[in-house]
A and B are shown apart, each in its own frame.
Chain A
């Protein structure tokens, strides 16, 4: 199984589906939808196969030999001359405990988003073609181990996302789409600069003994590979590692989105169609935190440790600010969008203390937030499809009219609040346990716990305003869930409950890797500080 190019299959299957869709005529709407559903369904199956063959004892992180399902071959090789070294870029895919969880999340969320896309009526062919292109880009980011490849996938995401929001979105879709595009491209600019800087700072030894510059993320993690004069090399006394780290962090932070770079998110969410909101919150936001864990942390362990307090601080700001902003919203979808900002804060907080518990919590929170927020956006979509408004004050008493729906809503809301027994509780608890044990950010952690209180506040208040109270006579005609909607909410509910009761199901995949990351950060930091 380890030799079969299963990750390439997983990543590029949507492209095959996209080509099929493009070859169909506009009228074959049913076929187009079914192709998408089959593609995303097969992807989910492939992800499950990967889980079955996953070896729990292999850590990954910085060790190329313990990555799994590795595919590596030379993509670009341009032989050097006297004045220019050999240029070499690898097609290098592989997964470890950090990425396997997010690959699974991506396939689940996209599969469910396909159902959520079922009632799209405008230019169906274009929508599903772009949807599948986005799918490829997202998976590509999580499985690439070469920075260049990572960057290509990272950028590939922008264009489909722009169109998906811009064409199929709400009234202010054009503004939201271009805002998203410009913000993320700005972030990418920082990432690109650091990528090129790193490229010129570290070399890899080829089979024939020659040393070439490298985009390989694992090569870049090993201090021994750095040259003495590279601008981002720890051996260079005038290195720019600190600035580069900040730049890279901003690049990723825009995606998370971390305060103060979050302003694109509410706009994008409010205007995006339901399925795209689901993907945006469910998967895209995780790319920011994943990028930090995969690239910023292990490549710059020295700077990371210097800045942990600030990462925690921004995590805290995200938690509190997001919650307060959510409380002030009248628009149901905007409330969920701000709750995302708040919940991604927990991930940052978890990352700020380098303990196994809190890092596991952070990764698990990525997964749980992905599923819970996906469900929350579906919930918003369901009510919006029926009532054509998201103004929370216009609702009231929906529970009487749509009891089954309200039941599912309750699960999602309580999971978001962090009620024990549901998945959100476990990850938040792990984050807090880990973060509290770190003396450095103890105060921050204590203040952050306010977020739980505020979270309960805005969620319950929203729940009360929308679902309880007197039924507004306008909504007498609303019908309860239909079959397609069950397909979306039931699996997510099951995941939320299952992971609330038995979190090891996901935790077991990442434990080895998270331990390895914590150990690596400590060791590498000692090595680098011994240099200076």
Chain B
């Protein structure tokens, strides 16, 4: 009991999030039909939680361990705090999007539920990025998934919306079942659910290689679903297309970040054998993890990029592009080095900014035109210069051309890869960028090169939205020219507890 009380200060952000969730629900109940203040309450809660996360930075300790010499349920470290900060900031941005989203406005009577479920996702993700125990991993993953299933279908007004939700539930259910199966095998073999203890067993004892490998692969499958890595990516396009765009943006950034944080922690903690002085990792040689990850990664990016070539719906296009990006981010893990880990973290910050920016513009345009079809983007360059130029910059950054931030993100991944002597992989990934250029530039073609057949009314956006857009634009360009602070931040945050 004492141990539990002592650990409570380690989960201040989570407690803050839980309180904010409760306050939100209560206010929603009291205010009834008046939804005016919900967004403000939401934002205040997010800011308070952000404060606690920043306060927590630099901690490095287990929480909820039965005694201080043992491994605990949660690992509180800079790595976790980094991802929590990323998650909370993207939540903040998504909430700001939601205020102006037409789709969410239409479902106004469910705004209370919408925000509470976002809190549900946040709490799930927070626990996910710091979990050191398979049970916590599973519970956090379920909390995250269940909240997001409902959010994907929250507006209920279109068929595709309900379809998205249903598909998500089915795919999600199956994959978490697979993962649970993996967890149970691992538990059966090791007698513990703590990943640090499992690692200790791996290092000292001869475990049944085949069974353990199988269980690790099953767990990878569960995580692969969350980060939409091939071959578990099939849900992504449909869900991304059907869900309200704010949620699509949120899933593509925050949920994916949490999934990656879990993947990185799981891989590094459970499977590691030793770390060399140059920061490269030696994994326990059950199977050739590197080749396995290389295949997954290349498959993911290639499938994502080639499928994106044929898309005519911008949301779907961005969905496939986010699959491709998951492939690039996996490359950072493949390097199996601290440098690669740092590259992943840099990538995620930049990816969050540019991807949220792209979705924001698509949302603002859809608010007016009611469509995300590329055909309706014809000639928009003339009537909405700020929006289309911003979208162009976000897309160029997603392609990874200098001098935008996207180039720096890719550069660090490739630096890590080439430093690990994986030139062929780097080459394939770079060829993929060339492919991706085609579909990103295709959007530019529709906006600037083509003419609209019908008259389109100028799209005006209000002052607050243009500020938000510019807030997203500035780092997209600035981080491409001066990236020292970001790299320093990522470098100082890679400390995983125990390593």
Contacts and interface: CB of A to CB of B under 8 A. Distances in A.
Contacts of B403: 152, 155-156
B423 interface: yes
Contact of B338 (A78, A83, A177): A83
B434 A84 contact: no
B434 A83 contact: no
A193 B279 contact: no
A68 to B, nearest CB: 26
A77 B415 contact: no
Contacts of B483: 76
Nearest to A75: B482
Contacts of B180: none
Contacts of B445: 166, 174, 178
Given A83-B339, A174-B445, A196-B418, A78 B430 contact: no
Given A163-B448, A167-B448, A81 B423 contact: no
B488 A78 contact: yes
B438 A178 contact: yes
Contacts of B415: 196, 199-200
B423 A87 contact: no
Interface in A145-181: 151-152, 155-156, 158-159, 162-163, 166-167, 173-174, 177-178, 181
Nearest to A168: B449
B438 A78 contact: no
B437 interface: yes
Nearest to A197: B418
Given A152-B402, A189-B434, A162 B441 contact: yes
A181 B441 contact: yes
Interface in A458-512: none
B277 A82 contact: yes
A197 B423 contact: yes
A231 B430 contact: no
Given A76-B482, A181-B437, A189-B434, A84 B338 contact: yes
Contacts of A166: 445, 448-449
A293 B448 CA distance: 37
A167 B441 CA distance: 13
Nearest to B337: A83
B279 A231 contact: no
Contact of A185 (B280, B339, B434): B434
A240 interface: yes
A245 to B, nearest CB: 14
A156 B449 contact: no
B487 interface: yes
Contacts of A77: 484
Contacts of B279: 81-84
A212 interface: no
Nearest to A84: B339
Interface in B231-289: 277-280
Given A84-B338, A182-B438, A193-B426, A76 B401 contact: no
A9 interface: no
Nearest to B414: A196
A189 B402 contact: no
A151 B342 CA distance: 23
Interface string B385-429: 000000000001000011100010001001100110101001100
A200 B438 contact: no
B194 interface: no
A189 B449 contact: no
B414 A167 contact: no
Given A77-B484, A156-B403, A167-B449, A192 B437 contact: no
B483 to A, nearest CB: 7
Nearest to B382: A123
Nearest to A78: B487
Contacts of A174: 445, 449
A75 B401 CA distance: 19
Contacts of B414: 192-193, 196
B431 interface: yes
Interface in B478-499: 482-484, 487-488, 491
Q: How large is the interface on B (under 10, 10 to 19, 20 to 34, 35 or more residues)?
A: 35 or more
A24 B342 CA distance: 43
Contacts of A182: 434, 437-438
B418 A87 contact: no
Nearest to B278: A83
A186 interface: yes
Interface residues of A, number: 38
B361 to A, nearest CB: 17
Given A185-B434, A197-B418, A178 B402 contact: no
B91 interface: no
A102 B444 CA distance: 32
A84 B427 contact: no
Contacts, number: 96
Contacts of B411: 196
B50 interface: no
A178 B435 CA distance: 12
B280 to A, nearest CB: 8
A121 B90 CA distance: 43
Contact of A193 (B338, B423, B437, B449): B423
Contact of A78 (B278, B444, B491): B491
A159 B396 contact: yes
Contacts of A181: 437, 441
B485 to A, nearest CB: 9
Interface in B198-257: none
A240 B423 contact: yes
Of A76, A162, A163, A185, which is in contact with the most chain B CB atoms at under 10 Å from its CB?
A185
A76 B484 contact: yes
B401 A155 contact: yes
Contacts of A83: 277-280, 337-339
B433 interface: yes
Interface in B368-388: 382
B448 A78 contact: no
Contacts of A178: 438, 441, 445
A156 B404 CA distance: 10
Nearest to A137: B403
A199 B339 CA distance: 15
A155 B382 CA distance: 26
Contacts of A156: 402-403
Contacts of B448: 163, 166-167
B441 A193 contact: no
Given A84-B339, A189-B434, A193-B426, A200 B418 contact: yes
B387 to A, nearest CB: 15
B430 A189 contact: yes
A159 B406 CA distance: 15
Contacts of A78: 484, 487-488, 491
A187 to B, nearest CB: 10
Contacts of A196: 411, 414-415, 418, 426
Contacts of A185: 401, 433-434, 437
Contacts of B487: 78, 87
Nearest to A80: B491
A340 to B, nearest CB: 25
B394 to A, nearest CB: 13
A162 B443 CA distance: 13
Given A166-B448, A167-B449, A197-B418, 14 more contacts: A82-B279, A83-B339, A84-B338, A84-B491, A155-B402, A158-B401, A163-B448, A166-B449, A185-B401, A185-B434, A189-B430, A196-B415, A197-B423, A231-B418
Closest 5 CB pairs between A and B?
A83-B279, A189-B430, A152-B402, A83-B338, A196-B418
Interface of B: 277-280, 337-339, 342, 382, 396, 401-403, 407, 411, 414-415, 418-419, 421, 423, 426-427, 430-431, 433-434, 437-438, 441, 444-445, 448-449, 482-484, 487-488, 491
22 contacts: A78-B488, A81-B491, A83-B337, A84-B339, A87-B487, A155-B402, A159-B396, A162-B441, A167-B448, A182-B438, A185-B437, A189-B430, A189-B431, A189-B433, A192-B414, A193-B414, A196-B414, A196-B426, A197-B423, A199-B415, A231-B423, A240-B423
